[in-house]
Amino acid sequence: MFRSMLVRSSASAKQAVIRRSFSSGSVPERKVAILGAAGGIGQPLALLMKLNPLVSSLSLYDIANTPGVAADVGHINTRSEVVGYMGDDNLAKALEGADLVIIPAGVPRKPGMTRDDLFNINAGIVKNLCTAIAKYCPHALINMISNPVNSTVPIAAEIFKKAGMYDEKKLFGVTTLDVVRAKTFYAGKANVPVAEVNVPVIGGHAGVTILPLFSQATPQANLSGDVLTALTKRTQDGGTEVVEAKAGKGSATLSMAYAGALFADACLKGLNGVPDVVECSYVQSTITELPFFASKVRLGKNGVEEVLDLGPLSDFEKEGLEALKPELKSSIEKGVKFANQ
Phi-psi category of residue 276: left, alpha or beta, with phi > 0 → left and psi -120 to 50 → alpha: left
Query: What is the average pLDDT value for the chain, to the nearest integer?
Result: 92
The CA distance from 68 to 82, in Å, is 11
Angle between helices 315-339 and 115-136 (to 10 degrees): 60
pLDDT of residue 6: 42
Q: Is the pTM of this model over 0.75?
A: yes
Residue 293 backbone phi and psi in degrees, to 5:
-160, 145
* Percent of the chain scoring above 90 in pLDDT: 87
| Amino acid (one-letter) located at 266 | A
What are the distances in angstroms from CA 3 to CA 13, 14, 17, 275, 335?
Answer: 15, 16, 21, 30, 61
**Cβ atoms within 10 Å, residue 120:** 12
Give one DSSP letter per residue of 53-74, joined into a string.
TT-SEEEEEESSSHHHHHHHHH
CATH for the stretch 175-340 = 3.90.110.10
Please give the helix or strand (H or E) that residue 81 lies within, else none: strand 81-86
Where are the CATH 3.90.110.10 domain residues in the chain? 175-340
pLDDT of residue 23: 43
The CA distance from 101 to 92, in Å, is 13
pLDDT of residue 5: 42
Q: What average pLDDT does the segment 22-30 reach?
A: 71
Chain segment 235-294, per-residue pLDDT in tens: 999 999 999 999 989 899 999 999 999 999 999 999 999 999 999 999 999 999 999 999
**Cβ atoms within 10 Å, residue 24:** 13
Q: Annotated binding residue at 18?
A: no
Q: Annotated binding residue at 237?
A: no
Instruction: Indicate the pLDDT class of residue 3, thresholds 50, 70 and 90.
Output: very low
Chain segment 193-243, per-residue pLDDT in tens: 999 999 999 999 999 999 999 999 999 999 999 999 999 999 999 999 999
Query: Among the listed ranges 15-24, 31-40, 315-324, which one has the minimum average pLDDT value?
Result: 15-24
For 310, residues 6+ apart whose C-beta sits below 8 A from its C-beta are 202, 213, 287, 295, 321
pLDDT of residue 120: 87
97: helix, strand or coil: coil
Q: Annotated binding residue at 122?
A: yes
pLDDT of residue 20: 39
75 part of the active site: no
Q: What average pLDDT does the segment 169-184 reach?
A: 98
25: helix, strand or coil: coil
The CA distance from 216 to 212, in Å, is 9
- The DSSP symbol for 112 reads T
Contact between 267 and 283 under an 8 Å Cβ cutoff? The reply is: no
Q: Annotated binding residue at 147?
A: yes
139: helix, strand or coil: coil
So what's the architecture of 31-174 in CATH?
3-Layer(aba) Sandwich (3.40)
**Cβ atoms within 10 Å, residue 292:** 25
Where are the CATH 3.40.50.720 domain residues in the chain? 31-174
- The DSSP symbol for 198 reads B
Instruction: Indicate the pLDDT class of residue 13, thresholds 50, 70 and 90.
Output: very low
Please give the helix or strand (H or E) that residue 182 lies within, else none: helix 176-190
Instruction: Indicate the pLDDT class of residue 118, thresholds 50, 70 and 90.
Output: confident
Q: Annotated binding residue at 5?
A: no
pLDDT of residue 22: 43
Chain segment 300-332, per-residue pLDDT in tens: 999 999 999 999 999 999 999 999 999 999 999
Residue 17 has pLDDT above 60, yes or no: no
Residue 110 has pLDDT above 80, yes or no: no
What are the distances in angstroms from CA 2 to CA 9, 10, 11, 15, 68?
Answer: 10, 12, 14, 20, 57
For 86, residues 6+ apart whose C-beta sits below 8 A from its C-beta are 61, 62, 63, 64, 65, 66, 67
Chain segment 64-98, per-residue pLDDT in tens: 999 999 999 999 999 999 999 999 999 999 999 99
Q: Which of 170, 205, 234, 269 is catalytic?
A: 205
Q: Annotated binding residue at 300?
A: no
